[in-house]
Structure 1
């Protein structure tokens, strides 16, 4: 396996028994560039682009309690062209990462601790924490954008080389939240942020040349914890969810989130370039939603699909200390019981209708992003390993027929979010591949798999063996080579 680049970063992390610092979550400290890797099967020649995944990968011994969302951002990529593939992984050289490399130790406490425990002022809505840029990843204007879930700078990298290109020059004072959305039809990136000061939330639009062209308040009643947004062809959708920091504890510098089932979930719908006065508010059943899948317009209605949590405040996992058990339950799909769900908002009457699309505990879904903002037929969800933040398999939903098909990754094999990669000259919505990194604990290795989206039950059409076993992670994206090269000319 030719390795043309290898670099080990400095780490102060000590041996420990933390469940999210061991096993499939064991951190990596080595960066690679690898070509001509072992392939089981054959890499298709009708795929052209880059699969990019973000990872929470801690480097320094934590200050206080460690939460898996605290880890430093590490980007893993697999690029495909002409039946060949190349793998790279690089840390996101955030301001915090560089400062801790220089200091040789952690300088910021994580989200499970008081911000006052940090040794330096921090970033984000919580304050005092490190912008690890380890949550989501999208490709906009031909470059990778990595983000931090509690609002940060937004870091840009080259999608093929993972060369660091700096932070977003237009980042507002309250940062960019975890899940900016790229409209492939227009090239625009839509984003939001939130904070602990009025108006508590903003929404913005960045054009196809990476210029901030719109930014407006979407006021909330108080500090909130929205995690995602959605868009249709003409509208953007943000949510006011009844899970947020306790106001009284906030006054004392403690960030404890509580669920308020007596409050409705509220949705703000506004034109893409609308302002505060253009917002139309809707109320629906109380829940918390981590991720929306897609939205589209149908007559007077906007249809929104996402994952409705039946139990946003689950009991701690049994057999563990209460704090550890609660942390484990809060990131376990089976504990908070997220179900594929549909909301319909009538822009003329203000009515809201809801529909359960699947009763299984599922999350971290993807669609063919060429259909983002337009009516979609297929969603690809994952299910989790019980009691863990690990992905054990996937489900393909046909929303027109109600059918679904499943694929288990295998015993002690855990996957990543699997974005859809269209075939070159694709003929229809599911004409392409699902791409994922799989960590195989039995074989003590990781691999990149391509799965035919038309027949996921057949399993991978090829498996590309990586040069190391990688740490588990969350969000991923796909960018076509054609779209990237359009900006690199």
Structure 2
């Protein structure tokens, strides 16, 4: 392995005992370029060609108030795999907030858990008073990485091969872009939404593969909401109005306290991809919160939608958490909010909704073959989590036609990343490819990249590739074939 270290960023953060600034969440501040990575076990497949990219939270400065892991500065990690070789590099996302704090030499904004008055400057996004860390999501669109923040910050561009910074995406609207813009690989379009504390409270838009906004319409909601994800079919986009949102009375005092309004239904808004605001149709369902959807598709008169139904969206504080951190840790603990793989069916003819769990296990952060996005699909890949923690301990592959499933569980002390599906070059079958993941090994204080053959799922990794430093844990990731980066649409 050949390693180049870049000049260090300014940091004022020292050692911390905070549960999300230590252990697998210890911030990584080093930026490197590494080529010819060392293979620890197995062989790098020669039948894939592309990049795996993951966004992580890495706080650079000592927090002004109470730290939440979603406050951390965005850092993008990329491994490039081509012709049986692998290279790696990582970069902080140079947001306006990151640059301002580098110039100031310390934190300027409070975070998700802080009340009004902590930040020293006006903030960004729906919440206000917070830094736009661009640390939540990452997709590839129009040949560029798009990095986004869950509270509707600005969309930032990076080069998917070099991670060179491209600044704020030119198509980003005034109210920002929520995490989880969706990419339709068949058309190359990016579908997105945003939300705010002022009417109409949501917008929905479409950006073509050349980076031009071709559609942008208001979506009227009853008040400020906290949507996190969306999903689409070939002809429709599905937005949501879920009964987990800020307490309206406290919000009048600029206090952002999230509540589960159990007496309200979940509502799903189905709009034609280029539909007008008055064409949206709302379907009601059981009250819940959904962090992440899997996929959706059209089947006769129905739209089928899969995602993760939370059985207790606002759980009580975690009893064994460090003092003052019970609420934080419960809201990050899947065993507390209990997400289950779930299927909704919306009948466009009758207006009725039917729904059911597809699995009773605690599962989240699902992935599937993106060439089937918006279309009927068969295989889904979910993560399992460590009780009490926002840490992934393994994977479950589902055959959604037969109901069969297969599992991989990591050894104690090893934690995975969100793991997208990587199609083999020339693949015909939907599951002909790999899962790719970055692994944090707390036992050895190292990190590596693994690939699991989805045709032989329970055999575990076919290759383990050493990374030059230990990563911090984080949130979302994406795989992009080089042909898709080049052409902006999938070859399939």
Name the TM-score class by shorter chain.
over 0.9
Secondary structure of 1:8's counterpart equals: coil
Secondary structure of 2:325's counterpart equals: helix
Partner Cα separation in structure 2 for residue 322 and residue 127 of structure 1: 27
- Please give the per-residue CA displacement for 1:12-37, whole angstroms capped at 9, x wherever unaligned: 01322100000000001100111122
The match for 1:14 is: 14
8 Å CA contact 1:195–1:223 kept in 2: the answer is: yes
Partner Cα separation in structure 1 for residue 372 and residue 353 of structure 2: 23
Partner Cα separation in structure 1 for residue 350 and residue 311 of structure 2: 27
Q: CA deviation at 1:5?
A: 4.0
Matches within 5 A, 1:29-48: 29-39=29-39, 40-48=41-49
Partner Cα separation in structure 2 for residue 60 and residue 270 of structure 1: 42
- Please give the per-residue CA displacement for 1:156-176, whole angstroms capped at 9, x wherever unaligned: 000010000111112111100
Matches within 5 A, 1:368-387: 368-387=369-388
8 Å CA contact 2:141–2:183 kept in 1: the answer is: yes
Secondary structure of 1:475's counterpart equals: strand
1:461 aligns with 2:453: no
- Please give the per-residue CA displacement for 1:186-208, whole angstroms capped at 9, x wherever unaligned: 00000000000000011000011
Matches within 5 A, 1:253-264: 253-264=254-265
122-131 vs 107-116, greater mean Cα deviation: 107-116
Q: CA deviation at 1:373?
A: 0.3
Unaligned 5+ segments in structure 2 are none
Matches within 5 A, 1:209-358: 209-320=210-321, 323-358=324-359
RMSD over aligned Cα atoms: 1.1
Q: Aligned residues, how many? A: 488
TM-score normalised by length of structure 1: 0.98
8 Å CA contact 2:440–2:446 kept in 1: the answer is: yes
The match for 2:438 is: 437
1:201 aligns with 2:202: yes
312-321 vs 451-460, greater mean Cα deviation: 312-321
The match for 1:139 is: 140
Matches within 5 A, 1:363-442: 363-442=364-443
Secondary structure of 2:474's counterpart equals: coil
Partner Cα separation in structure 2 for residue 182 and residue 305 of structure 1: 17
Partner Cα separation in structure 2 for residue 305 and residue 145 of structure 1: 24
- Please give the per-residue CA displacement for 1:105-147, whole angstroms capped at 9, x wherever unaligned: 0001001112421011110100010000000000000100000
8 Å CA contact 1:115–1:129 kept in 2: the answer is: no
Partner Cα separation in structure 1 for residue 172 and residue 468 of structure 2: 36
Q: CA deviation at 1:321?
A: 5.8
Partner Cα separation in structure 1 for residue 192 and residue 10 of structure 2: 34
Partner Cα separation in structure 2 for residue 271 and residue 375 of structure 1: 18
8 Å CA contact 1:316–1:322 kept in 2: the answer is: no
Q: CA deviation at 1:456?
A: 1.7
The match for 2:180 is: 179
8 Å CA contact 1:10–1:29 kept in 2: the answer is: no
Q: CA deviation at 1:322?
A: 6.7
